[in-house]
Amino acid sequence: MEAEKKSHEPTAIFSLFLMLFCSSLAFAADIRMAAPQEKIDTSKIIVISGPIERGDTESLINLILQLPEEHIPVGTLILGPSAGGNVEEAMSIGFLVRTLKWKVVVLEQCYSSCSLIALSGVYRIFLGEVGLHRPYFDPKFYSDMDPYYVEQWHRRVNDQVRKFLEDAYVSDSVIDRMMSVSSREMWTLSAYQADDIFSNFHPYFEELIFGKCGDLPITVPEYGMNLRCLTREITAMQRQSLITFLRAVMEGEY
């Protein structure tokens, strides 16, 4: 049964995100800065759509490193539509998203490995469907390898995905449900169901914001937070996280 519908942020912001996405939609897999808009500052928004492929993390990092000062720190990642793709690449992108403290907005459909990126955001807004299933392997992989090594590889990847989701504060019950779904099927969650199951914030981040902003008037009842303070604090964290990330890149640690 579908969870009760509830707001995520003011309706006007939803509408602007939809306008933003539709105007910058591409037909191929794409990692890009969002298209300019008259009513919203898109200078710090990145869009990823299409299949997740090997090399996408490198493309994303190269885009970040080439951004002019007025585009940093990136604050938001818009995801979708995407049917998924390479699971290890998706986890790599998701780790980067979590490291840089990006807000993630899911539009259209975010299925399979795309969902791993979506759940990595410390602050996420679900405006589209999320689809989950256990990791997919190319059938050729099974037909060309010794069954013993297939099993070992399958266990290793499943364990990696499980650990990745645990680090994203996804509950064991949800992970177990996802792992029980065949890679040929999909456990599809509406935006409202995803919001109800995963919430808008990683738990530690929510407690941190409450600690810094709890004494201020509540301006977003759905979150029980002051939006101005939330925006200020997440921007400060994103800036510091970017500095730490760039230092790691320069020192060859990333």
Instruction: Please give the Cα distance from 120 to 116 (Å, whole number).
Output: 6
Dump pLDDT digits (tens) for 48-90: 999 999 999 999 999 998 998 888 899 999 999 999 999 999 9
pLDDT score, position 110: 97
pLDDT score, position 180: 96
pLDDT score, position 143: 73
The pair of three-digit structure tokens given for residue 234, joined into one six-digit string: 């997440």
Query: pLDDT band at residue 27, thresholds of 50, 70 and 90?
Result: very low
pLDDT score, position 39: 82
pLDDT score, position 195: 92
Q: Which domains are seen in the chain, by residue range?
A: 11-211 (3.90.226.10)
Enter the pTM of the model: 0.84
Instruction: Please give the Cα distance from 246 to 49 (Å, whole number).
Output: 25
Query: pLDDT band at residue 5, thresholds of 50, 70 and 90?
Result: very low
pLDDT score, position 145: 76
Round the CA-based radius of gyration of the chain to a whole number and report it: 18
pLDDT score, position 176: 97
Query: pLDDT band at residue 141, thresholds of 50, 70 and 90?
Result: low
Dump pLDDT digits (tens) for 187-214: 999 999 999 999 899 999 999 999 998 8
Instruction: Please give the Cα distance from 194 to 57 (Å, whole number).
Output: 25
Residues 6+ apart with CB under 8 A from 137: 153, 154, 157, 183
pLDDT score, position 190: 97
Mean pLDDT over each residue of the chain, to the nearest integer = 86
Query: pLDDT band at residue 248, thresholds of 50, 70 and 90?
Result: confident
237 alpha-carbon distance from chain centroid: 17
Is residue 105 classed as helix, strand or coil in its secondary structure?
strand
pLDDT score, position 30: 87
What are the start-end ranges of the H helices in the chain? 11-24, 56-65, 87-99, 113-118, 139-144, 147-167, 172-179, 191-198, 203-213, 227-250
pLDDT score, position 254: 66
Average pLDDT of the residues in 127-135: 96
Dump pLDDT digits (tens) for 160-195: 999 999 999 999 999 999 999 999 999 999 999 999
The pair of three-digit structure tokens given for residue 196, joined into one six-digit string: 């109800």
Dump pLDDT digits (tens) for 107-118: 999 999 999 999
Do 29 and 12 contact (CB within 8 A), yes or no? Answer: no
